[in-house]
Structure 1
């Protein structure tokens, strides 16, 4: 039984799901906001928050080996060095004073045309 086993399965196999979350994470880091289904946005949120927390830990670490370790953990998760570079160099400074809640999900009013899936816009919260 799967009682109290909460994770977003998204109706696909685990390898497909891991790749999907990695690709969505890269797209969100590179573009700042993406339009996707509500279920995928809700599955993406914890993954991207953990990546930003890794980047913040690397930003605060004083040991060079520790910084490299956190960067390699992020590369293992999303497998795109350009996105990791942007995350660790640019986005980490944007969220330096924020303790979580780095993303925002907006539900869009119009469902997807082909299958009427609920659509959502996920974006980074801007610090003002």
Structure 2
């Protein structure tokens, strides 16, 4: 949950991370963390899709009003309930793994929307050239992809070489 919570940085908080979406840890911990976080992000993406599918079936009426009670007694509520069930299940599974409401909210609002078109590979592990003091553990960054990616620059096209035209004073055959 600490990696997910680094997405939102409070500039006035002195303990907030310097770079959003990045933590520093040891290399073995980073390798253990990657599949865990990627499964949670995939779960959140599925939950967001289910929420979007259930949105048209819902109602905008305030709870316990006559309009809301009529919707609740109708067939639309049954359809909405069936459509929203996978989203609720995804949120409950994610909460059971994260155990943090703030991280869960960030996961479903920011992270899932950010990676909605990506099919995996949400994290990058970058080895650092230094070791931790005390036990010489190899350090690494764990960060979300897409924010600090290198921009691929296009090369300038190669100049077109035009063959020199034969001079006009050469004898014609």
TM-score class, shorter-chain normalisation, is 0.7 to 0.9
The alignment status of 1:54 with 2:46, answered yes or no, reads: no
Distance in 2 (alpha carbons) for counterparts of 1:69 and 1:89 = 16
- Deviations along 1:57-99, one digit per CA (max 9) or x if unpaired, are 1111132121111000000001001101100011111101100
Map of 2:78 onto structure 1: none
Map of 1:34 onto structure 2: 23
- Deviations along 1:19-58, one digit per CA (max 9) or x if unpaired, are xxxxxxx110011110000000000000000000000111
Structure 2 SS opposite 1:101 = coil
Distance in 2 (alpha carbons) for counterparts of 1:90 and 1:108 = 27
Higher helix share: 1
Return the index of the structure with the highest Cα Rg: 2
TM-score by length of 2: 0.58
Structure 2 SS opposite 1:121 = strand
Runs of at least 4 residues off by over 6 Å: none
Distance in 2 (alpha carbons) for counterparts of 1:94 and 1:78 = 19
Computed over aligned residues only, the root mean square deviation of the Cα atoms, in angstroms, reads 1.2
Map of 1:88 onto structure 2: 108
Distance in 1 (alpha carbons) for counterparts of 2:98 and 2:49 = 21
The alignment status of 1:110 with 2:130, answered yes or no, reads: yes
Map of 1:8 onto structure 2: none
Structure 2 SS opposite 1:114 = coil
Could you tell me which runs of 5 or more consecutive residues in structure 2 were left unpaired when the two chains were aligned.
Answer: 7-20, 54-82, 150-173
Map of 2:168 onto structure 1: none
* Aligned residue pairs, count: 103
